[in-house]
Structure 1
């Protein structure tokens, strides 16, 4: 069971570094934080060395017909969006402890197709209409997102702290509906907990954090601070198969700066829940992991909502065999 624990944890670090730009909230419906970023085993340490993860992310969301969203000096009404995004990047786990914890460093890239629509757009003090039923799509690369994390293991209990940021070099234009970059820098920090008992195969995780958004210098708009909570609960029905539930809650906690007075602070909110399944398997002398999870969204405010799905493939160093698995050589 000790080797099962290490095998199950060998890939999790590569699964906890993702935040993407097609998420909808804040200015024009765009936020740095992607709810559902973290999930099961998020706070559990992994195996030292390099790992790699690739995620296919699909989202399909829409707002109410008359709901308004500020964007670059105009207001878009009745927006919707679809995204087919690839998220990819390496993680390096250090073998030498730092403050008694396992240190990891990750870098994420984003690319794919994003489609956005608006029933109409308004601009100027009189609310002049500049566009009706606008739809745009974009195939491009998004921003670059680095992350640093520390994780502590204490038997079945695991703790983590992390920090990540957004380097705004992705495809962005304030006059465009569809973007892969968010147009401004951001920093996000938080912590989490994982309970994992390899004897029973039961696991529960949560990670909470705050996002601080810098001003978008193209539009002079600054999103407020965002609170987010991701959670996952699962059971390993075998040593290779994991089934469970995932969920999230996203709440903007301070007002935007630059929104039209009629929209107030324009604080956004959304929650989501859905199923997940995971599969562990060998890839040569490495450890492979495939995870599928989906979320249905509800309780949305100042934010389009709908559903999203994630398919994650990660590869990492295999856990070392326990000493008991090695052949015993006796001398007579």
Structure 2
């Protein structure tokens, strides 16, 4: 099926689709792991070679109206009027997929970073994870650079079933400033690992993907604050409605499973949770010189949150990756008499 061979290039998106977010970390209700990172076709092997992805992400977060988002340790933390934060980043990533099998699977490695802008505004009083209260109309806006992110994957295929394991993390870029509200870098390293599965029926075009993982965060030395371990699940389902277009939905579940700790964790465990969902559409774009393009647009809206601001996000991804080789033409049978 030619259109499904083309569809596999969409996984160049998932190999390069973890991204930057406002670096408030779990200590501000936002995690190192940005929910929704993995999407459709996450575990499907791709054509070996170099691939490039650029991803525009808009993230908007709000907490207000007396909404509590810190509730542990018996110490109240709340936004008494309003918290608004937004981030716009342009992720740039490059991936190499090896043609040599590794443990019977396909190995790939990705590096990414992103310039972007982040703005944070507080309308009245915010009691934060460091135990400090900020009052009045306080704002901060900054154009800066994210950390450098890396990811390694191994993928296997057995007919309609595809499996994947991955490990990802960040290398601090040095742009973190503990005196600023607005940061796109974290100020600490983190490591995340997990596994995924994709069902892809080449005859019907049905597809379903699910990826789960755990994040371990190291200490933020400037704040003396260490986020707890996070558990997350990203999922997506889509249907190819033509040879070059697929549509569907995607969602996520995020749960912090251990407490924040350290001298700076003055508000206790501060465990967060988020559940979100949204639509997606993808377009396969034929290109010359042995490469193909893929454009994906998807969005997410939080349905439920705990100890995190409510958020919505928009993702626009364009990736270029090697095209699958065309099958060799069969030679006509010549009979000699």
Shift of 1:222: 0.3
Shift of 1:128: 7.3
Distance 2:241 2:21 in 1: 34
Tell me which residue corresponds to 2:12: 13
Is the 1:13–1:45 Cα contact (8 Å) retained in structure 2? no
Distance 1:169 1:52 in 2: 21
Tell me which residue corresponds to 2:176: 172
What is the TM-score with the length of structure 1 in the denominator? 0.91
Shift of 1:22: 2.2
User: Which of the numbers 280, 294, 298 marks the counterpart of 1:293?
Assistant: 298
Shift of 1:106: 0.3
Tell me which residue corresponds to 2:51: 51
Q: 253-262 vs 51-60, which deviates more?
A: 253-262
1:148-297 aligned at under 5 Å gives the runs: 148-258=152-262, 263-285=267-289, 286-297=291-302
Give unpaired runs (5+ residues) of structure 2: 72-76
Task: Say if 2:310 is the partner of 1:305.
Answer: yes
Is the 2:196–2:211 Cα contact (8 Å) retained in structure 1? yes
Distance 1:253 1:128 in 2: 25
Shift of 1:177: 0.9
Shift of 1:116: 1.0
Give unpaired runs (5+ residues) of structure 1: none
Is the 2:13–2:317 Cα contact (8 Å) retained in structure 1? no
Tell me which residue corresponds to 2:27: 27
Find the residue that maps to 2:6 and give its secondary structure.
Answer: helix
Distance 1:16 1:10 in 2: 10
Aligned residues: 324
Distance 1:200 1:122 in 2: 53
Distance 2:265 2:224 in 1: 15
What is the TM-score with the length of structure 2 in the denominator? 0.89
**How well do the aligned residues superpose, as a CA RMSD in angstroms?**
2.4
- 12 and 129 in structure 1: CA distance in 2 versus 1, 3 angstrom threshold: closer
Find the residue that maps to 2:223 and give its secondary structure.
Answer: coil
Q: Deviations over 1:175-196 (max 9, x none)?
A: 2111010111000000000000
Tell me which residue corresponds to 1:320: 325
- 96 and 233 in structure 1: CA distance in 2 versus 1, 3 angstrom threshold: same
Distance 1:176 1:10 in 2: 40
Is the 2:30–2:308 Cα contact (8 Å) retained in structure 1? no
Distance 2:295 2:46 in 1: 16
Distance 2:320 2:326 in 1: 18
